[in-house]
Amino acid sequence: MSAVTNVKSEPIEAVLFDWGGTLATWHTIDLYAVWRSVARVVDEERADELAAKLLAAEDSVWTRSRDEHLSSTLEEVCLLAEVELTPAALTEYELQWHPHTELEPDAVETLKTLRADGLKIGVLSNTIWSRRRHEEIFARDGVLDLLDGAVYTSEVPWTKPHPEAFLAAMKAVGMTDPARCLYVGDRLFDDVWGAQNVGMRAVHIPHSAIPANQIGHTEGTPDATIHRLAELPALISSWSRAAT
């Protein structure tokens, strides 16, 4: 764990997590291959054409997220690509992503420890996926019941680092004071800079090989950096001791 850059007097009462690259292990994914597999289910003869259109549409909504902090959905991606995602194609899409949704090895124990320490736990994820899909994954991994609330940007107008995304996540776990919230994520723009802009503390986990086209215009300076989720409870405890 790196040295803490800042200790504030307010006790941490809630910990909000990013999902991909933070709670879930980062994977570098061939998105064209994912979409081509889906496109083959839709129309095998046009699979290459449809996959290219779907990939371009997905790239466009993530560029909008980076630059304008506006959200999107899987349905919008398909609408932009002019591709109808049939039930069979949606099943294929979820199967293609399934191997890339696994939790970090110490995620479950970390969440249980934080809960035992009396902290509220939440998730704020930039995502085009539905709540249903995320909750299926969390239920599969045995952590859904450990969450006090979650915000998936597919359900709100904004994405991180927009302040309203963080405030919505704070409210989802029943908090009203951002100074008593900690955000944990793998991105210095979306997660660290965004959280600190609303008055939260931010911890960076530098696990992810973030594509260059997803890196925003600013990098925040985290309040601390950790390399395993298991380091988090001790870090929060050290802040509490330092503040008393």
Any alpha helices (H) in the chain, and if so which ranges?
31-42, 47-68, 74-81, 87-97, 107-116, 131-140, 163-172, 194-197, 232-243
Average pLDDT, the chain: 92
Q: Are residues 124 and 239 in the same domain?
A: yes
Look up the domain containing 76 and give its range: 31-99
What is the tally of structural domains in the chain?
2
**Given this model, what pLDDT does residue 27 score?**
84
Question: 33-38 — which CB contacts under 8 Å span 24+ positions?
Answer: 34/93, 34/96, 34/97, 37/92, 37/96, 38/85, 38/89, 38/92, 38/93, 38/96
For residue 149, tell me if it sits in a domain. yes
Last residue of a domain, one of 64, 81, 99: 99
Sheet holding 181-185, edge to edge: 149-152, 120-125, 14-17, 181-185, 201-204, 224-225
Q: What is the pTM (predicted TM-score) of this model?
A: 0.92
- The confidence band for 3, taking pLDDT boundaries of 50, 70 and 90, is very low
**Given this model, what pLDDT does residue 209 score?**
65
Q: Are residues 152 and 227 in the same domain?
A: yes
Q: Are residues 118 and 130 in the same domain?
A: yes
**Given this model, what pLDDT does residue 28 score?**
86
Residue 120 has pLDDT above 70, yes or no: yes
Last residue of a domain, one of 99, 133, 148: 99
Residue 102 has pLDDT above 60, yes or no: yes
% pLDDT > 90, the chain: 84
Last residue of a domain, one of 99, 126, 153: 99
Residue 166 has pLDDT above 80, yes or no: yes
